[in-house]
Amino acid sequence: MRKNILTIFFLIAMSVALYAQSDKVPKTDFGKMYLAVWQTAVEHSLEVARAMPESRYNYKPTEVSKTFAEQMVHIGYTVELLTKRYVQGIEVKPNTPDASQMNKAEIIELLEHGFDYVTEVIYNIDQTKLEETCEMYHSGNTVSRAFAFFYVQDHMNNHRAKANLYIRMNDIKPPEYTW
């Protein structure tokens, strides 16, 4: 009987936790607007990662190109790095994982981790932080931290588009782009 009570309590607690997550709303108007855009970009990126067979993750179109795996690892790693650097204003140093030492499942897990990190920032960032400015290292442009979210997404989309082309070059039908 005690085991049944604990099981029921556990199921109720899990249901409450899942319900609470589904009602989660970003703290800012920007976050409310941007969340759907970000989630759509995330899903497209995961679809691209899943579409390439693991046996082709080492494919690269030229000697100087990244492999498909490197494109995916670059996305998964840099969405968090760029969010920390430009959106949150945290000093970070690059330390990209070695894609050649990872399998497809590990790379998708890295992508999901990076995407989840950014999503949590979208939910929790304060308006005052979004209104701060930051200087973009490569261009020298000064932008708001809110605008920096678009840079993170643009960078992700750039590498996702390259990876999508790799899929086509392997005669695989890429995921449909929908909006």
Q: What is the CATH number of the domain that holds 159?
A: 1.20.120.450
Phi first, then psi: give them for residue 134, nearest 5 degrees.
-145, 155
Q: What is the pTM of this model?
A: 0.85
Q: Does 8 fall in a domain?
A: no
pLDDT, tens digit, 9 for 90 and up, residues 122-158:
999 999 999 999 999 888 999 999 999 999 999 999 9
Structural domain including 78 reads 26-169
Q: Alpha-carbon distance 73 to 14, whole Å?
A: 32
| 5 within a domain of the structure (yes/no) | no
Overall number of domains in the chain: 1
Q: How many CB atoms lie within 10 A of CB 177?
A: 11
Q: Is residue 16 part of a domain?
A: no
Residues 25-60 have pLDDT tens digits of 999 999 999 999 999 999 999 999 999 999 999 999
Q: Is residue 119 part of a domain?
A: yes
